[in-house]
Each structure stands twice: as C-alpha cells, then as structure tokens.
Chain A
C-alpha cells in the first residue's frame, strides 16, 4: 500500500471500519467522502504536526495527509506547543484542537453522496514519531508507511475482530493497532483515550470489543476490574513491556478461545516481531530465521540487535545496518529471554524513565549527600522505583526524610517516576570510568 487512502479503491464503501464513542459506526465510504471534501492543496509537500486532537480527528488527519504531506509529525501530548514556535521545530502547519473538522463532516455525510476522493496522492510521506522523552526532549524517529506496516497481516483468528486499545493513536503501539485495523479491514473502536482505564474498559466492553492490545501491566490492572469478565476476547496482544510467563498463562486461562500474541517492538527499529506460542521471550530459532524480513542477533554487549528490511532513518547514532535495540537478553534452554534495558532505564508498567533524571531532582534537596535510583521488581507493574540514599551527616533515613523526598519528587516528576521506596544506600561503588556502577541487569 503506497498511501492509506489507497484502501478506498479496493474496499466496499459500506464496510464498517470504526466505531466511535460519539459518532457510532463509521464506514469506509463515509471516510472517503469526508477526506474528499477538504482541499489538500495547502498541505501538499508540507511538514504537518498533529497536536492534541480527538482520536477520530487524528485518525482522519492521518488518512488525509498520507501521500499528500512531506512529513506527518506525531507530537506527543506531553510536549507543550504553547511554549514552542512551530517553525523552531520545523513544522509548517500544526493541526490541533478541533482539527480539520472531520467529526462534523462525518456526522453530516449522507450515504447517497459517497464517492472516491480525487486528490492526487503519491508523495511518499515520512512519518515522524517520538520515543518516550526522558529528558523533556523526545527523540524523533523517521518512518514510512512500509516500515510501520510490516507486521500488519490479515486476520488469522477465523472470526471478525473488533479492536480496542488503551494507547493513544500517536504512540507507536496505538498507531500499530490503527494501521493493522485499516489495512486488514478489522474494525477499530475509537475511545477518547483520556479516561481512566476503568472507563475505557467499560466503553470497549459496551462496544463489543473482542481484540485488545495493552501492556502486561495494563492487562494486570484491568483484570482487577469488574467489567473484565464481560469481555469476550478472541485476540489478545501484549507489548511495551516484558511479557512474563505469569501474565501469559493468566490470559490464556481467562480467555481459552483467544489467540495470545506478545509483540516485541522497538520504536527505533520499527516493528520487531510477534510471538504466538504463549511462552515468554522468543524461540531461539528466530536468531537464524528472519522474522518478517527482520534479522535478529545477540550482539557482543549481550543486547538484541535488529537488521530491519526497510531502511528506517533515525537520529540514533548507529550508522551500520544492525540497530542495537538497547534491550539486554540471555539464552535459557531454547528461548531467548528479555532482561531489561541495558542502559539502566527502568520500565514501570510500560512507562520508561532514566534513573539520572530522578537522581538529579533528589539532589536538589540539601539533606541528601548521595542517591542512587534503581528498579525494584514488582509482580504488579514489572518494576517500581527505589531510591537508595545517604543523607548528610547528622540526618537519618527516617519517615520525615522519606516524606520530604517523595513530596519533592511529586512536585517535579510524573507519578510513575516518584520513588515508591526510600532506603539507606550501601557505600556507593564508582567504577574505573569514574561512573556510578549500576550493575548488570539480572533476572
């Protein structure tokens, strides 16, 4: 597929594709009509940023702009554009708020007026995504439609799938679900992604979602909600965190008819690969048999390396063909198991943080002589943050100090970065490079 709107040429206009909470059922034909009603001239060959938008406006904008714009930049919602001049970050136009008004157009589209868009498409649009920013400056990764849709495939479950997702469409995982749906024709439920997990789950259950993608921590979370048992799932997808055997077994037991897939995907490398055998990690043979044309190997630093088939440009300093994913792995029997990020970044329920960022915030306190942030394993969220501190002389690691640290962090950092535990540190170990030794990632 050269551009998303190409789908209109090959699909029945009255095929349902989306279910939006406010607009109800949406057909390919309505989308085609709405797309055609806006002149694409002013967007041609430009760099367009997609800011804060409803999920339906996002979805429509992406289909509208693909093949027209030079680049589509998915601006993470955490980036505050009020303080940035779009020209400084290379954007010609920013679409946000009410967007191009596609919701209104969709609402008023009548079946009799359905026709195919006449817009000339064919510019190979670049898609610019951000990895989770840890220092406030998200890292930009350039993709194209081909690299983004490499693992999109036809529905193999034997039943009609209706997808839901807990991710925003601008995040890599959410975008994958959206593209998978668009290309395969599987329906997609659009919720506004702003609500609590409880509300999203309720909306998805009501909309009869039977295919769902979420992080292992989100799966653990929603399994504790009353509505969980009302889901009738045929496809379960996990990603964004290491999927351990416990959560895989749990989901297979709860939904015996569902196909359980866990996806390893690195934003840097584009899509990685999928595992469907219900076992954690991936089969050893993936190291010798390319997965969807992605070659895999374990590098000298014990990190997983991927050699993607489509060329993906990015601003990671790696000029060779093999991309270091930064994920530490080890071989156990006939499986390759994921151990965690080799750079010490901590994954709390799918949210990643760098220890250094939290350490620098804690160092703002006069009472702290030394702090080291580390991961403490959690059966619920994968990891939580632990701060090991040495207070200045005369002070103790008591309840008052712990409260001071937690309150200070809460003012400066997102919730998942705030230390869940504060303990007294052992003597810090400085390695030969003069750096704090963080220790190798271990099981």
Chain B
C-alpha cells in the first residue's frame, strides 16, 4: 500500500503529464509548488484527483485555512488529515 507521500508524488507526475507541463527534475520537500511546473489550474486538478484517490480534500476539511507553499507542506497537510 502506498504511503500518502507516494500517492501524492504519483498524482503530481500524472497531472503534469495530462497538462503537458514540464516538472522540475528534483521534486523534494523544499520545492515551491507553483515553481514545480504545475500552474494553478494543474494544482486544482491535482487536488481533485487526490480527493478521488484518497477520499478527502483537506482544503475543505480544515477549519483554519492554510495554503501550502512547498511540496513538503502540501504532503504534511494531507498526512495530517489522513488520520481524521
């Protein structure tokens, strides 16, 4: 079973492929999401795809809204809400 992290990275790569976007080669926790190669529409698609895969959208669940800057922050948000 994939970890949340693996699922997210796979979904990012799939979204980039579908959007014909060029991802930066070295995705890591410090990568700034909007610099990674995906634009805001791609990002919206990613979040919707992850909702299908993981069953939740943390941006809808959070009581205190947070918008992640880096890939690490993004994964951390998904991991946090996975437990709920």
Q: Which A residues lie at the B interface, using CB under 8 A?
A: 197-198, 217, 220-221, 223-226, 228, 246-247, 249-250, 253, 348-349, 376, 378-381, 384, 403, 406, 410, 415-416, 420-421
Contact = CB atoms under 8 A, between A and B. Distances in A.
Contacts of A246: 59, 65
B68 A349 contact: no
28 contacts: A198-B35, A220-B40, A220-B67, A221-B34, A224-B32, A224-B33, A224-B69, A228-B69, A246-B59, A246-B65, A249-B65, A250-B65, A250-B66, A349-B40, A376-B48, A378-B44, A378-B47, A378-B48, A379-B47, A379-B60, A380-B40, A381-B40, A384-B41, A384-B45, A403-B18, A415-B39, A416-B41, A421-B48
A389 B73 CA distance: 36
Contacts of A198: 34-35
Interface in B36-84: 39-41, 43-45, 47-48, 57, 59-60, 64-69
A217 B43 CA distance: 12
A148 B34 CA distance: 35
B69 A380 contact: no
B69 to A, nearest CB: 5
Given A197-B40, A378-B44, A384-B41, 9 more contacts: A217-B40, A220-B40, A221-B34, A221-B40, A249-B65, A384-B48, A415-B41, A416-B41, A420-B45
Q: Is the interface of B mostly helix, strand, loop or mixed?
A: helix
Contacts of B35: 198
Contacts, number: 67
A224 B39 CA distance: 11
Nearest to B57: A379
Contact of B67 (A197, A249, A250): A250
B67 A224 contact: yes
A226 B34 CA distance: 10
A397 to B, nearest CB: 15
Contacts of B47: 378-380
Contacts of B40: 197, 217, 220-221, 349, 380-381
Among A197, A223, A380, A406: residue with most chain B CB under 10 A: A380
Contacts of A348: 41
B32 A380 contact: no
Contacts of B68: 224
B65 A384 contact: no
Nearest to B58: A379
B41 A349 contact: yes
Contacts of B39: 415
A410 B66 CA distance: 32
A379 B59 CA distance: 6
A420 B38 CA distance: 13
Nearest to A220: B67
Contacts of A226: 32, 69
Among B18, B60, B68: residue with most chain A CB under 10 A: B18
A356 B48 CA distance: 23
A281 to B, nearest CB: 18
Please give me the 9 A-B residue pairs with the lowest Cβ-Cβ distance, nearest first: A379-B59, A380-B44, A250-B65, A381-B44, A223-B67, A420-B45, A378-B44, A221-B40, A246-B65
